Amino acid sequence: MVHYRADPGPGFAALSDPTRRGILQRLGRGDASISDLATDFEMTLTGIGKHVRVLEEARLVTTEKVGRVRTCRLGPSRLEREEAWITSYRRMLEARLDRLEDYLERTQGES
């Protein structure tokens, strides 16, 4: 039976889409309205709004509505859970490669 670790967090899902990664890069340069983002990414307001909501759920983006304008900015998430998962996965891979290296050294010494 295969056992999976706990979900590393919503950040991975949010970052899986290139448009959402682009939105984060754009917001890294400064706040932007939904309309600005829609123009920048050549998408409809509805389409960009869906991406922004996913980023909001992952706490990567926050929005604030003033009048008719919804402004987006980078959110409070620093992807700590996702980073911890990547670190754990990297350690597992490195341990496996170390074991393979040890095995190859032992078996090559026997020939």
Check residue 25 and give its pLDDT: 97
Residues 55 and 106 in one domain: no
Q: Is 37 left (phi over 0), alpha (psi -120 to 50) or beta?
A: alpha
Indicate the number of domains in the chain: 2
User: And the tokens for 26?
Assistant: 């754009």
Q: What is the residue range of 23's domain?
A: 8-77
pTM for this model (two decimals): 0.77
| Percentage of residues of the chain with pLDDT beyond 90 | 73
Check residue 76 and give its pLDDT: 92
Q: Which CATH number do you get for residue 45?
A: 1.10.10.10
Chain segment 47-82, per-residue pLDDT in tens: 999 999 999 999 999 999 999 999 999 999 888 888
